[in-house]
Amino acid sequence: MTRSVPTAALAGLAVLAAALPLRTLFDGPGWFHHVVLAVAVVVVTGVLMRLLTRSALVLLLGQMLALGLTLALDFARATLVLLLPTPETARAAVALMEQSRETITGSAAPAPMNDGVAFSLALVIGMVAITADLAAATGDAPVAAGIPIGAVFAVSAANSTDPLHWAFFVLPAALWMTMVVAHSRAGVMRWVTMLAGRSGEDHEERVRRDHTRQGVGLAAMALALALFVPGVIPHLSPYAFGEGLRSGREGPAPGRGEISLSSEIDLRRSLEDPDPAPVIRYETDDPTPPPLRVGVAEDFANGRASIPQEATSSVPPGDLAALGVETSQEESWTTRFVENLVLAPQLPSPFATVAVRGDVESWTLDQNGVARAQSAGRTYEVDYVEPLDDTEAVLGLIGDGGPSPTTGEVDPQIADELRAVLDTIVDPGSSDLEAAQAIQSYLRGDEFSYDLDLQPGLPGEHPVSRFLRTKQGYCQQFAATMVHLAQAHGIPARFVVGFLPGTSDVDGGRVVRAADAHAWPELYFPGVGWLRFEPTPGGRAANVPGYSIQRAEVESSSTSTTSSTSSPSTEESDPDAAAQTSDERTGVAWARPLLVVLGIAVLLGVLPLTALVLRERSRRREVDPAERVEREWARLLTELADLGVEAPVGATPRQSGRHLMGHPGVSSANAERMGAIVGAVERARYAPPGAPVADIGHDVDRVVQRVRRGRSRSRRVQAALAPTSARAWWRELPGRGTSALARGAATARSAAGGRRRTRSR
């Protein structure tokens, strides 16, 4: 067991060098001197104790005790009694670690620096220094010391939003290799002294020189390769290794593991996530799906919102009044999640969920209407009723409800500032809805910009104050500021996090990625309940509800459009000549576009008109009930196929119905209708002649309408402009024409033969 002071010193320096990149993760250098002190105490304690003992356990305990006393003196000196820790010291340490946890989980890099973060960094890196010293100096195995040193560097590399400078890697690697070469050189020299050298030759000096040269050369080559190779080989996904280590259950598509949104809200890392792998895949019959809620923040501290890990209370599923949805649409929607990588208890779902089915265990709705589950698989189905979104209905019902719920109090630090902003943007005498509209309009105005890179705050500045001063941020800042402004005006408001509806997929479903993480406010209005607002501007936001837009904006937009298209000409010329020229130009100007538009309309209308004629002609034919059922069944399969929902080829009616019922919009909502249709088809085919058969035309219409509403706009347009029945009729037209000519020729030949036979007689 070596007592080498240089080895211990090199190990400590390597740990400090590996910790340097952490400066990219935190805002301010106020932590590094605490770390240097902690590592120095560990190294010095180890050197001194190795002079007294050879027990690794005693050395470990002594270094840990020295590190603990150093941190207590550095961060909680007032709690010590005769330099000895007290229960107050332990409580202070716990409080510092809790402060560090809130900062790290609630802030994106660079996170603000405070005593808690500095304490945690000094503690963690000090423990790493103990591990490296134990391996290199106490255990006489400096190669093994590279594991904790590399782990410290990996923390920075994995969490930094930008690539680290190459020097951050070279410095700790060079120190570690120097330590390894020095240790190896000492070992080689102990072995060389037992061998006889040649006469007149400094054998030991030659071996020492050769070994040093080879060691330095190998170290330099290894560093060069470590810097060069990553620049020329393809980079693996940052999730590739983690995905390879997954076990226990069938994994998702390569490149993405399971995720969850942090309970301490900071969405920047998700918004910057470049991984295109889906987090959620779902299918829905809602033509305009809303955002997917994951949590509602109940508390703001220093501008950061926190989501409770456990529900404080729950509401019965389907109780819309308890959910704060006092007025809703009559029709419910169904969303089927075919792949969900969000970890329980978070269960992504729209507002307001009334039923959950599938691979979900013990699901509940918390007091904010957020769905939670004890465990959740990758597939489940949700029924929900959207809150009222019709502008006129909202205006007509606001104010007719009972008492409003209570929400968090306004932070006294920014209460005056919020009131000053409200006095500027909200007209006196405005209703609560008008005030909310004004707040949203203000935040979506040209003064504010969407930016993931926040400007640094002033010392002691509240995050909302920084946002109002810099006027730049992302969805979290926009939503939190609207919540604060609404509460300052007396409107109950809450901060909601989740995901945007995602983008349409090629198969008609929707795909949600990590970058679709989003935050938005919900405001409560008596008579209507909780309504979603969208203060975040640009494309990184959900659709803006109509009731949240000021009428003045709509009227102004309409007026400006009208005035811009009808502005008079300022040219002066002879009135008669001008009128004649105008008529000539008008005749040329509108004639060609009109002809082009008419031509396009005719071409686009050929197939839909053909389908309509074929359908009407089929309905007018006199057929028996069984044939009518077969005709409606064929129409159902054809129109669903146009919408991208195809039944298996050659399947029986029952197999086809079972397949179709597995598709969103057909399953839970129209299962009874589909069962009646399949039953009628089976009776029409297999029942005795004369048995009564129900008319299924109405059920077919309802099923098709339901599926059509849930498909993408492009699919609906394609089905309307190019129906299968019309395309098949036009494809078969040449064959029908040829057949008709052939039948006409045969008739003519037959008639001619008859005339010849008549003349011969």
| pLDDT single digits (tens) 441-492 | 999 988 999 888 888 888 888 889 999 999 998 888 999 999 999 999 999 9
Mean pLDDT of the 644-652 span: 79
Inter-residue contact 511 to 505 (CB < 8 Å): yes
Distance CA 498, CA 521 (A): 11
Res 420: pLDDT: 95
Q: Cβ neighbours of residue 68 under 8 Å, at least 6 residues apart?
A: 85
Q: Of 510, 526, 555, which residue is a domain's last?
A: 555
Q: Are residues 541 and 416 in the same domain?
A: yes
Q: How confident is the model at residue 553 (pLDDT cuts 50, 70, 90)?
A: low
Residues 490 and 366 in one domain: yes
The reply to whether 538 and 637 lie within a common domain is: no
- State the sign of the Cα–Cα–Cα–Cα dihedral 409, 413, 418, 419: positive
Q: Are 437 and 550 in contact (CB under 8 A)?
A: yes
Classify residue 737: in a domain, yes or no: no
Given a cut of 50, whether residue 254 has pLDDT beyond it is no
Residues 397, 487: one domain?
yes
Same domain, 542 and 654: no
Q: Is residue 610 part of a domain?
A: no
Q: Domain for residue 350, yes or no?
A: yes
Q: What is the pLDDT of residue 550?
A: 78
Q: Which range scores top for mean pLDDT: 92-96, 215-219, 665-669?
A: 92-96
Closest by Cα among 481, 303, 296 to 405: 296
Same domain, 629 and 548: no
Same-domain status, 651 and 536: no
Distance CA 80, CA 343 (A): 43
Query: Do 535 and 667 fall into the same domain?
Result: no
Confidence bin at 161 (pLDDT 50/70/90): low
Give the CA distances from residue 211 to residues 11, 187, 219, 228, 497, in Å, rounded to whole numbers and listed in that order: 21, 11, 12, 26, 60
The pLDDT value recorded for residue 155 is: 81
Number of domains observed in the structure of the chain? 3
Q: Are residues 329 and 408 in the same domain?
A: yes
| 191 occurs within a structural domain | no
Verify that 11 and 157 share a domain, yes or no: yes
State whether the Cα torsion 506-511-516-522 is positive or negative: positive
CA 130 to each of CA 120, 123, 134, 135, 185: distance values in angstroms, whole numbers, following the listed order: 15, 11, 6, 9, 24
Residue type, position 558, single letter: S
Same domain, 502 and 641: no
Angle of helix 415-425 relative to helix 463-470, nearest 10 degrees, comes to 40
**Domain end call among 520, 535, 555:** 555
Token duo for residue 629 = 């059922």
Instruction: Give the structural domain span for 371.
Output: 279-555
pLDDT tens track for 591-620: 556 566 666 666 666 777 777 776 666 666
Residue 517 pLDDT > 60, yes or no? yes
Contacts of 296 (CB under 8 A, 6+ apart): 307, 366, 368, 369, 370, 494, 495, 496, 497, 522
Cα gap 518→295, rounded to integer Å: 11
| Rounded Cα–Cα distance for residues 289 and 500 (Å) | 9
Residue 254 falls within a domain, yes or no? Answer: no
* Domain annotation covers residue 592: no
Please give the distance of CA 538 from its chain centroid, rounded to a whole number: 16
Q: Name the domain boundary from 555, 578, 607.
A: 555
- Residue closest to 666 by CA, chosen among 677, 679, 650: 677
pTM reported for the whole predicted model: 0.49
Question: Is the residue at 497 inside a domain?
Answer: yes
pLDDT of residue 69: 92
Element (H, E) at 560: helix 551-565
Is residue 24 within 8 Å of residue 162, measured between CB atoms? Answer: yes
Nearest to 443 by CA among 400, 494, 484: 484
Q: 512 and 635 share a domain?
A: no
Domain for residue 481, yes or no?
yes
- Give residue 623's pLDDT: 67
